[in-house]
Amino acid sequence: MNVSVLGAGAFGTALAVSLAGNGPVTLWARSRDQADAMQQARENTGRLPGVSLPEALKVTDDFQMATQNRTLLLAVPMQKLRSFLNDHSDALQGRALVACCKGIELQTGLGPIAVMSDVLPDARTALLTGPSFADDIARGLPTALTLACAGTGLGESLQHDLTTANLRLYRTTDTIGAELGGALKNVMAIACGTVMGAGLGDSARAALMTRGYAEMQRFALACGAQPETLAGLSGFGDLTLTCTSDLSRNYRLGLSLGRSEAFDPSVTVEGAATAYAVVARAEEMAIDMPISRCVTGLLDGALTPDAAMAQLLARPLKEE
């Protein structure tokens, strides 16, 4: 099995480390300096410090060389996916591409699979998503993910290629459900972090997670997702992880909002742009997304945590 991971951030590096347990893996970094430094130090000191890169993992900035392999994982942030595909469209046309990002594109309202198909109509596409911190995967801790692929044959072959000793992949053909579960849970994680940062309590977080899940389902089902997918690893599973752990960057952004503290803008926080994308699309579709709307209000500075919570509590009473 020959796999390349394109994008040497925290997640790309972690996946490459795990996959190297199966055989040779190439990890592509866009900067030559970064590729050289990683190749020499055998560590991604910037994004995944403390994890040794195994022998079977080669780091390069040579895109042509990296794309010789059969399976290509794309580990760049959601809002950068389109420009990455455009920059490398010649090499990626007609290939099997597995997106590893979570989110909805701000300009178009599309998820990762739809963006890949939009830019490269001949590509065969899949999505790897679900509850997993890069650090856990890289340290070989047990992890289960969802591999979403509309084509059963390609899905089975990717599931086989990308499963490792500690990384167990489940398969689905519901690409819409997998895309939306992974995108929306990040918005809910910002909300939950805010509640915890503001000291509003564990009970409030449990309420937000549950009503957030209802909101995720409402939106995803209206977009054509299957309810079982939302209840699986890519939806409920990732919601649980991200809303309860301060290893999550989305949750940590929320903590900062709750505490009125500054947050480093260079950190990848997918839920921020996705919140705006979801609210815009929900308005077009006349879907009620009160928690997502509050998250955009918090991000804008238009709402304080207390005002957001007061807004949610003052909504008309209804059946669960």
Ligand X SMILES: O=C(CO)COP(=O)(O)O
Q: Where along the sequence are the contacts to ligand NDP (CB under 6 A)? A: 7-12, 30-31, 47, 75-78, 80, 83-84, 100-103, 132-134, 268, 270
44 DSSP 8-state letter: B
Burial class of 300 by CB neighbour count within 10 A (0 to 12, 13 to 18, 19+): exposed
CB of 309 to ligand NDP, least distance (A): 26
Which of 60, 164 has the CB closer to ligand X?
Answer: 164
C-alpha–C-alpha distance, residues 164 and 160, integer Å: 9
Residue 208's Cβ-side half-sphere holds a number of Cα atoms within 13 Å equal to: 36
C-alpha–C-alpha distance, residues 192 and 22, integer Å: 37
φ, ψ dihedrals at 287, nearest 5°: -110, 135
Q: Is 270 annotated as a binding residue?
A: yes
CB of 121 to ligand NDP, least distance (A): 21
Which of 120, 230 has the CB closer to ligand X?
Answer: 230
Q: Is 185 annotated as a binding residue?
A: yes
The count of other CB atoms within 10 Å of the CB of residue 235 is 29
CB of 169 to ligand NDP, least distance (A): 14
C-alpha–C-alpha distance, residues 194 and 88, integer Å: 38
23 DSSP 8-state letter: S
- Interaction partner, residue 279 (ligand NDP, ligand X, none; CB < 5-8 Å by kind): none
Q: Is 133 annotated as a binding residue?
A: no
Q: Which residues pair with 172 in a beta bridge?
A: 148
Q: Are 59 and 39 in contact (CB under 8 A)?
A: yes
- Interaction partner, residue 241 (ligand NDP, ligand X, none; CB < 5-8 Å by kind): ligand X
DSSP alpha helix (H) spans, 42-174: 63-66, 78-87, 89-92, 112-119, 134-138, 152-162
For the question of residue 185 being annotated catalytic, the response is yes
- Interaction partner, residue 83 (ligand X, ligand NDP, none; CB < 5-8 Å by kind): ligand NDP
The one catalytic residue among 58, 80, 185, 318: 185
214: CB partners within 8 A, 6+ apart: none
Q: Is 134 annotated as a binding residue?
A: yes
Here the tokens at position 246 are 């301060």
Which of 75, 277 has the CB closer to ligand NDP?
Answer: 75
C-alpha–C-alpha distance, residues 252 and 255, integer Å: 5
121: CB partners within 8 A, 6+ apart: none
Which of 60, 250 has the CB closer to ligand X?
Answer: 250
Q: Which residues bind ligand X (CB under 6 A)?
A: 102, 131-133, 186, 189, 238, 241-242, 248-250, 270
CB of 185 to ligand X, least distance (A): 8
Which of 133, 251 has the CB closer to ligand NDP?
Answer: 133
- Interaction partner, residue 242 (ligand NDP, ligand X, none; CB < 5-8 Å by kind): ligand X
241: CB partners within 8 A, 6+ apart: 131, 132, 133, 248
- Interaction partner, residue 238 (ligand X, ligand NDP, none; CB < 5-8 Å by kind): ligand X
CB of 271 to ligand X, least distance (A): 7
- Annotated catalytic residues are 185
Binding residues for sn-glycerol 3-phosphate: 102, 130, 132, 185, 238, 248-250
- Binding-site residue set: 11, 30, 102, 130, 132, 134, 185, 238, 248-250, 267, 270
Q: Which residues are annotated as a binding site for NADPH?
A: 11, 30, 102, 134, 249, 267, 270
